[in-house]
Structure 1
Amino acid sequence: MLWIDVVNEPHVRLWRRFLKRYPQDVLITVRRKGSLIELARRMLPDHEIHIVGRWGRSKEDKIRAFAERVRDLVYLLDEYEVDVASSKGSTEQARVAFGLGIPFIALNDNDLPPHVVTRLTFPLSAVAVVPECFSGPTYGPTVRFRGVFEVSHVLDYLEEPSREECRRLGLREGSYLVVRPPPVSSHYLEMAEHFEEAIKRLLDSTGLEEVRFPREGGIILPDGTKLYDVVDGIDLMATSAGVISGGGTMIREAALLGIPAISLLPREDPCVTRILMEGGLIAKADHRNIVQAYEHLVERWSTGELRERARAIISSLEDPVDAIKRALSQVFNERKLY
């Protein structure tokens, strides 16, 4: 049995695509964070979703949440015979799998110092799965793939592109920007100045509306209404006029969809974002030049060039779920699990 721990909303599509391509006997766990539970139930309807623990906001709360979740995961695993475990960034799964002697496959793509999640997961892993560009430490056996994890997210969406979320939420296609604030509660970002100033300048210049995905979960519509409904972020981005983010995942998903994507991360971007910048799919900006950066992308978007470029880049990259499968096969062969 494969134990998958899903700790963030975007990872749901990654694992859905993996299970479509490579059906497995699985145990799926999630934590309480934003709309993760509801999204997992919606996108993985054929699998039981086990809710274990929660997300911690502050440094102290993260430690408390970690300890509570490790304890509860151990109790849950008393009921299952798990052969191998895998997740993208679950420090709790790494600790539990290591303690119980379960081979652990660690996925990660954020190579920004101080490498906190990497240091808490990769040393405990049997195999690490990372993009080729990943410059952080991996500590042991590693499977590298050509590309970014978001390729799997977008390929999963493109199999069934509904384009229904904007209408469900009362929005007009192409009339809004999707905004994602910086991850200031993360281990690699302490503060983010000028983000709100940059967003205001762009909205004032374009006359577009704002749809915001707060870090604590939910979605804020242009009229200020905050909803905690399950929202398919990729589908909502696909009908937007662009995505402006202080983080990484949504900006890479938007770029691979071929819509205007601007990074406002107030430090250097991880390698996976940089390779899409070098491919011409993402612009790096700040509060001083965000309007010009967006106008340049919109020119390419309106002619269809941005979408064509995105499709060409996707076709040149590897589907990350194939790399996960290679890592699983490596563990199975070494441990003779099957």
Structure 2
Amino acid sequence: MVIWIDFINTPQVNFFEPFIKDLEKRGHHFVLTCRDSSNTVPLLKTKGWPFTIIGEKVHKSFLTKVFGFPTRIINLRKFLKDKNVDVAIGQSSFYLPITARSLGIKSIYTNDNEHALGNIPSFLFANKILLPENFSLKTAYAQGASKKKISQYPGVKEGIYLWEKGIKIQALRINSTQDHIYVRPEPNTAQYYSGEKNFLDEVINSLKKDYKVFVLVRDADQRKHYQSEKFQGVSVPEKAFNFEKIAQNCLLFIGAGGSMTREMAIMGVPTISVYQGELLNVDKTLIENGLMRHQEKISFEEVKDLINNIENSQKNSSIYLEKGQTAFNLIKNTIFNIN
């Protein structure tokens, strides 16, 4: 079987990694495309998979996104028309269901973001829709999803690709020293983000005096900002950091939204979300279960207090790793049984 996956952002690389490894061992083949966004291309290169870049970086401008959308679909069609793809699957790639339908390819669409406007065309054109258990079906139906297309998987998206390595990482944390603070800044070029820019600067500069602080930037502009003289003493990795390394030695993770914040939370890593905007249901679930704290603005004193009163949430996180294994098998079976 030939399976097409389209990556439009960095977290999707980790999401599909266990599927690619598992199915390649079984003799199946993959056609991988990506958009040049965030750290997607550098991360794909570390995996050693052959892939094709189709589409340049998309900026926050609404008009840029509107005109860039059909252009990329046209280019995807040209690339895929002779690839003999049997099935397509994408995690929040709004391009994939439309392109696949236009080529007569059956497609699977999954997303955990109930606020994404791209869900509307994706729900319409996909043959199968996979949503997490905390995704409101009422919202999905309002966005045009057909009841017969939808299946819901247990847990959260991040558990699907972390369930196997998560058990090992949790064991490593027990026998390791956690002395690094990692900060993931805001997704300021994302269409959905309307919060402040660079609002973590003061906290980062205060933390660097007492801790080893690493800022995991999203793009070249953020890299330039945090590599300026003002942030001397703060580490800004040039390449995508190994996830296992981060999770193993992370004392505290401060994330302004996105998958990486949830990844750390379900690993049992002390995590605070400072996302300035309406939270997803998946984030609310993790907060309610004590795996993550949310505060739109946080001071150095509050971070210090949090570090001094860190509680181990590893027990609760194990539940989401177990659910992740079940969800992984459900999605894998869907790939082979799509109709």
TM value normalised by structure 2: 0.81
Q: Distance in 1 between matches of 2:326 and 2:56?
A: 30
C-alpha deviation, 1:201, in angstroms:
8.4
* 1:64-92 deviation per Cα after TM superposition (whole angstroms, max 9, x unaligned): 43233222211111231111111111122
Counterparts of residues 184-333 of structure 1 (less than 5 Å): 184-192=188-196, 195-196=199-200, 199-200=203-204, 203=207, 207-216=210-219, 223=233, 226-287=236-297, 291-292=301-302, 295-296=305-306, 299-301=309-311, 305-316=312-323, 318-331=325-338
Q: Relative to 1, partners in 2 of residues 1:86 and 1:313: Cα closer, same or farther, differing over 3 Å?
A: closer
**Quick check: 2:271–2:293 contact (8 Å CA) kept in 1?**
yes
Give the corresponding residue for 2:152: 144
C-alpha deviation, 1:291, in angstroms:
4.5
Q: Distance in 2 between matches of 1:179 and 1:150?
A: 19
C-alpha deviation, 1:142, in angstroms:
0.8
Q: Distance in 2 between matches of 1:37 and 1:157?
A: 23
Q: Write the letter of the residue equivalent to 1:256.
A: I
* 1:200-219 deviation per Cα after TM superposition (whole angstroms, max 9, x unaligned): 58727x82233112222586
TM value normalised by structure 1: 0.81
**Quick check: 2:247–2:264 contact (8 Å CA) kept in 1?**
yes
C-alpha deviation, 1:281, in angstroms:
0.7
Q: Write the letter of the residue equivalent to 1:16.
A: E
Q: CA RMSD in A?
A: 3.1
* 1:181-224 deviation per Cα after TM superposition (whole angstroms, max 9, x unaligned): 222332322222783267358727x8223311222258657635
C-alpha deviation, 1:294, in angstroms:
6.5
Counterparts of residues 164-183 of structure 1 (less than 5 Å): 174-183=178-187
Q: Relative to 1, partners in 2 of residues 1:256 and 1:52: Cα closer, same or farther, differing over 3 Å?
A: same
Q: Relative to 1, partners in 2 of residues 1:291 and 1:327: Cα closer, same or farther, differing over 3 Å?
A: farther
The answer to which of 226-235 and 5-14 deviates more is 226-235
Q: Relative to 1, partners in 2 of residues 1:271 and 1:291: Cα closer, same or farther, differing over 3 Å?
A: farther
**Quick check: 1:162–1:235 contact (8 Å CA) kept in 2?**
no
Q: Distance in 1 between matches of 2:233 and 2:75?
A: 40
% same residue: 21
Give the corresponding residue for 1:122: 123
The number of equivalent residue pairs is 317
**Quick check: 2:89–2:109 contact (8 Å CA) kept in 1?**
yes
C-alpha deviation, 1:94, in angstroms:
2.3
Q: Distance in 1 between matches of 2:242 and 2:121?
A: 30
Q: Distance in 1 between matches of 2:72 and 2:194?
A: 25
List gaps (5 residues or longer) in structure 1: 165-171
* 1:242-264 deviation per Cα after TM superposition (whole angstroms, max 9, x unaligned): 11111131111111111110011
